[in-house]
A and B are shown apart, each in its own frame.
Chain A
Amino acid sequence: MEGRRAAFWLGVRALLPMHLGVMPFGVIYGIVALQSGIPPLAAVLMSSIVFAGSAQFLIAQLVGVGAPALLMVGAAGLVNLRHALYSASVAPVLEHLPMRWKLLLSYFLTDEAYAAAIPHLLAEPRSPFAHWILLGAGFALWAGWQVATLIGVLLGAGLPNDWSLDFALPLTFIALVVPLLTDRRRVAVALVAAGSAVLFAGLPYKLGLFCAALGALLLAGLWPGRPAR
């Protein structure tokens, strides 16, 4: 019991700094959704039903311009393709769990929860409580996202947005990724991912991000020598 609780709170604590960036993002989503003509109830529930920031923004924008429903669904699917990479990445750690755990943790598998939990999962993949870390991070993000959406929908525009708080997200991700760069192959993977993400940034629906990540992973696979675990 002690181990579970400690792992859960480890995940919550790893995620908390990201709220500095997530909360303003969620508030802005709420505002944008209302401005696009999405009813308040649907705007709030979208944060639970879809629970994916960039896809929700995209849907709100497309509703605003009156795009067809199938286009919206397809666009949201493309934007979220990167989550398949996260799914592959955590799958070995969750392999032994019953299906209800796999379903629950898949629902919580966002950019932020993945980023917060993965350094711990890589460090101790055999820990019997590893999945509680992901649950803690996922739940903490979910709760903050719901509150932020609600604030955005209730307060609407008029909130100050000149502090660049969204920058807390890239900064947190830097703090999480840099310690993973332990050899030349890993540094090369990061450099190629960054370079190709910039190169492909013009592609729609965040496909540039997905292609850049795949390209960098290809390099990781082809790099001479055996991969050091």
Chain B
Amino acid sequence: MNLWFVLATAGLITFATRLSFIAMSGRYRPPSWFVAILPYVPIAALTALIAPDLLLVAGQLSLGLDNPRFWAGLVAIAVAVWRRNILLTIGCGFAVLWGMQWLV
């Protein structure tokens, strides 16, 4: 019974967080500085989300050959700059990751 309380409450809080600004839109005009930074939200949030995956190994900064995810990520960034092709980016990233896991 306690578990169902946790699920219901956690679900409601998650939903309320996602609804927050969407529900307010149209009723309230946000200040202009707020509107001006909104286009940067995807860059800031999504980069912060994945950077630790690429740069940390067991909580420590690791940019050596023992961290294939860093090199695979670098190659994926280069491929994404070169061609705007999602599947090509994923494919090249996995090729580097699996190649290094196999070799190193």
Contacts and interface: CB of A to CB of B under 8 A. Distances in A.
A216 B51 contact: no
Contacts of B24: 91
Contacts of B9: 69, 73
Interface stretch (A4-12, A46-54, A148-156): A46-54
B37 A217 contact: yes
Contact of A213 (B3, B48, B56): B48
- Of the four ranges (under 10, 10 to 19, 20 to 34, 35 or more), the interface on chain A belongs to 35 or more
What class of interface size applies to chain B in its complex with A? 35 or more
B4 A103 contact: no
A173 B22 contact: no
Contact of A216 (B47, B69, B72): B47
A80 B13 CA distance: 9
Nearest to B45: A213
B90 A172 contact: yes
B10 A174 contact: no
Interface string A87-106: 11111101110010011011
B50 A80 contact: no
A42 B7 contact: yes
Interface string A124-158: 00000000000000000000000000000000000
A167 B44 contact: no
A221 B33 contact: yes
Interface in A32-79: 38-39, 42, 45-46, 49-52, 55, 59, 63, 69, 72-73, 76-77
A3 B15 CA distance: 28
Contacts of A202: 59
B3 A91 contact: no
Contacts of A88: 20-21, 30, 34, 38, 41
Interface of A: 17, 20, 38-39, 42, 45-46, 49-52, 55, 59, 63, 69, 72-73, 76-77, 80-92, 94-96, 99, 102-103, 105-107, 109, 111, 114-115, 118-119, 122, 163-164, 167-181, 185-186, 189-190, 192-198, 201-202, 208-210, 212-214, 216-217, 220-221, 227, 229
Interface of B: 2-11, 13-15, 17-26, 30, 33-56, 59, 61, 69, 72-73, 76-77, 80-81, 84-87, 89-90, 93-94, 97-98, 101
Given A92-B25, A164-B97, 17 more contacts: A80-B17, A84-B20, A85-B41, A92-B35, A106-B22, A164-B98, A167-B69, A167-B72, A168-B94, A170-B69, A173-B46, A174-B80, A174-B93, A178-B81, A190-B43, A197-B52, A213-B45
